[in-house]
Structure 1
Amino acid sequence: MGLYERWCESTKAKDKRKRYWTYVEKDGGRDEIRDGLAETIRSHYDRLERIAEDVDRLGYKVAAEILSEAMPQTAKGRSGDLGEILATELVEEEIGLRVPVRRLRYKDGRNMAMRGDDFIGAGYDVAGEKLWLLKGEAKSNKVLGKATVTSARKVLNRDNGRCTPDSLLFVANRLLESNDPGDNELGRSLRDEVGLKSLRADRIDHMLFTVSGNGPHASLKEDLDATGTNRDHYVVNIHVEDHQDFIAAMYQEAEDLGDD
């Protein structure tokens, strides 16, 4: 079972190419996923095998210090990062596209937000021939409101709805540095797309992903209703009532590597 299946109850509505998904925590769901989510958070900042090597060489306490240096220490920074992490996991679990680069590993500073698209999903069509992309914007707020939703949609629509060239090139180059031939192939496809811009709009999906303490604000559904039908649209809300406490607790769990 995946993270969301164990953690939340979901409601999913679809109207042609528009999908509206809402998630609410199950009773006991948080306890069910606590350890796994902590490990997932770690994996977005560093490779788990590298963390394990630090533990073997230096012990748990020093390894935890190294990991902590990569993680944001401000409430705002943690909120934004966790939004991107949860969005990435949802795309891979529920849609089946890869988010092939864990971009939080490449931040200029642990408390700084990264520029560019929040997350990019990538893969190929059913025949395995044509490139397919998903452009995503993630928002994490104690109280979600219309201004945040409007701002996120504006970002999704920029560059004529395409993934921004710098974001796409960043992902492409990381994949081309991989030792995996499949990564190299996808990286080459993405790099070609930066130059050719050959993908039609109907092969570049959009996702507006939100995590909030007040649940799905009415503006989310209004925003989805106002979108066009030339691509697949996903509008998602994860309702976590104690939003800020949840984030603080999960980062504390992620930074604690244990002592044995």
Structure 2
Amino acid sequence: MTRFVEWCAHTDIPVAHHKLQILTADPAKLAAAVDIVAEVVPDHYVMPGRLAQLLTRLGRKEVAVYVAEKLPTTKQIKSGDLGEILCTTFIHESTPFKLGIKRLRWKDHRNMSMRGDDVLAFHIGAGAAGLQVLKAEAKSGGKMQAGTVSTARDALSAYGELPSPHAMSFVADRLEAAVDKPLRDMLDDAQLKRNLKPAHVTHMLFTFSGNDTTAMLSKNLASYVGGSAQHYVGIRVEDHQAFIKSVFAAAEV
């Protein structure tokens, strides 16, 4: 995973009864951070089994070409994709929501954005707790704007605070392994029986930027009045574009 604790300073900001975390990259540790993040990037675009098959049949050089042709080439898509990757890995490292899929594996084209909820992750609680869902919006930019944060907030609150029906079906349709059956059945029930409620959903607004987003995230978070738990995260890498460029360059090697 991306091991944020090894290259970021971490601050918890009190905002009412909500959760806001700010992670700031240490400039002295960015070279190590690039290597750490680049190592996980290919897995978000290609199924591990597919890579293993190619490696066995064709060799390492051909696998490198295959991975490189999956990665985006435009600055804008690289930025958005890496924001989603960092969000996904943060969720799996730092929250109870360990179940789900890596959505970028199903992109129509490497230089196109995907529509729908950026990240959905899941936790199956014990007993009556049942299915718990994390619905995340990930935003990436060299200088994050309050308007972008507001747009993400609107997306989180859409569909009555719940994930979009298409996004839930998209995940369920790709849970094909036998071990995934309990989650797939719960997602089908949530969709078809309409038994998912805002109280079962946690919202995450995740920013990856070159500027400090503490004030704008705090202000936006304080204005939330809905019925879902809120967890905002801001990751700051001061030289945002250079970091993205270095990560994708390293991922292609």
Please list every run of 5 or more consecutive structure 2 residues that lacks an aligned counterpart in the other structure: none
Amino acid at match of 2:227: N
What CA distance in whole angstroms lies between the structure 2 residues aligned with 1:224 and 1:7? 26
CA RMSD of aligned residues (A): 1.9
Q: Could you say which residue in structure 2 is the equivalent of 1:105?
A: 105
Q: Could you say which residue in structure 2 is the equivalent of 1:78?
A: 78
- Give the one of 217, 229, 234 matched to 2:231: 234
- Give the one of 186, 191, 206 matched to 2:183: 186
Q: Is the 8 A contact 2:16 2:222 kept in 1?
A: no
What CA distance in whole angstroms lies between the structure 1 residues aligned with 2:12 and 2:194? 32
Q: Deviations over 1:151-187 (max 9, x none)?
A: 1111111111100000001111111x1132xx11101
What CA distance in whole angstroms lies between the structure 2 residues aligned with 1:85 and 1:17? 27
Q: Could you say which residue in structure 1 is the equivalent of 2:69?
A: 69
Q: Is the 8 A contact 2:2 2:37 kept in 1?
A: no
Q: How many residues align?
A: 253
Alignment partner of 2:110: what SS?
Answer: coil
- Give the one of 212, 217, 225 matched to 2:222: 225
1:199 aligns with 2:187: no
What CA distance in whole angstroms lies between the structure 1 residues aligned with 2:130 and 2:116? 24
Between 92-101 and 159-168, the greater mean CA deviation after superposition: 92-101
Change (3 A) 1:223 1:15: closer
1:213 aligns with 2:210: yes
What CA distance in whole angstroms lies between the structure 2 residues aligned with 1:67 and 1:162? 34
Q: Could you say which residue in structure 1 is the equivalent of 2:246?
A: 249
% identical aligned pairs: 35
Change (3 A) 1:144 1:208: same
Q: Is the 8 A contact 2:199 2:227 kept in 1?
A: yes
Q: CA deviation at 1:41?
A: 0.6
Q: Is the 8 A contact 2:83 2:207 kept in 1?
A: yes
Where in structure 2 are the equivalents of 1:141-156 lying within 5 Å?
Answer: 141-156=141-156
What CA distance in whole angstroms lies between the structure 2 residues aligned with 1:122 and 1:225? 25
Q: Is the 8 A contact 1:19 1:235 kept in 2?
A: yes
Between 44-53 and 66-75, the greater mean CA deviation after superposition: 44-53
What CA distance in whole angstroms lies between the structure 1 residues aligned with 2:223 and 2:86? 25
Q: Runs in 1 of length 4+ with deviation above 4 angstroms?
A: 126-129
Where in structure 2 are the equivalents of 1:41-52 lying within 5 Å?
Answer: 41-52=41-52
Q: Is the 8 A contact 1:84 1:118 kept in 2?
A: yes
Q: Could you say which residue in structure 2 is the equivalent of 1:114?
A: 114
Please list every run of 5 or more consecutive structure 1 residues that lacks an aligned counterpart in the other structure: none
